[in-house]
Structure 1
């Protein structure tokens, strides 16, 4: 009698959305880059300490040498984060990743190409009546959705610690709480009708017109099109209040909603 063969797999492999920080190198100075990252870790250790980081050399005029790249990887590790991959760019980057023993992630390169090289999304039509000059400094109001427009992704259950919800190519509406350690992302805007205690990242593919709205603000991190603020950077008088987050002239703005 032949022995019974066990075809059950010992491990199940799945692919899904993973929140990984992307460090786009604009000046190849390993010491300065490591020091900047060390400051981030010191300011927000719960967010950045031992965080996975993808290195993107697409902003440089030439590919770093192996010694330069290895010095950067070592410096970032000493600063408290863990470089886990290179963002795909060229054949030279491919070769460099093999020399470093790190994988390539094409997703991050594609995001930057859309954000940097593609024309910006068309702005919504300007209202017929312009705001009064005295009110120009007020935060922008959310625009009404066109009739028949998609409501986007609606999350009715609470987003708990360790969970991630991603709305690809649309807005995200959360009707419950986003807990500490949870993460919500959207290529469009994010609307949270409960408390925001975790992380919210709008405009994930580079849409600078995206915004974040929440009813009760206790965020660990908020970001629009890659521009972010962590809890330590957020004014204490906004905590617990209804808040709007948007991008203006390359700066992330936060204001209480009336």
Structure 2
């Protein structure tokens, strides 16, 4: 099942929420369902800065919908600081809500040449400077560290959750039903995986999940998930296997047996 949004990490610790639908109300609802106070991932974020990106929808933004999405982000412990849209007219809605526009070279304008001439030429540089100032206030540029690995050598019980933020996760014992393991990187389970496993949690579509006994309640990579209601193939269920996203742009989970 494909979500209506995707959250990615940039080279700086600023998140990007990529809206895959023009219905920002739907995005807000799904966001609260997945990361809101009543969800299993209520403390997933730590007030991270986030850029709202609706440029792929190529649809003008409704100010109220954008406001509701911003409130949903705040409720999910995310701080909206900037916006990227597909139309220059989106700037008015974003700026009125206290957001700045992401660098204009990353935004594909669909206005006419006549409309473009109406915009003051100095506006481009002003907006770029504001974006840089906001990023400086939120984060400091530092060299990217090597990806660490969190190793867990005890079983994950029902109701227990482990999150490897910015890291790979290695588990040397069973993940029981009702248990949940989450990582921004890959997940390796050298034991039965019977609970929930979510790799690439911050949007890393290259992340993978490995287990010597794959029997999950839920499996997810970069927000694309599958539950036990949709049984795995006999050659995968309970066997050594890996899970990854297809590289054809269709965001489909692929389950592949691991053979020696």
The two structures have a TM-score, normalised by structure 2, of 0.49
- Highest RCO, 1 vs 2 (Cα 8 Å, sep ≥ 6): 2
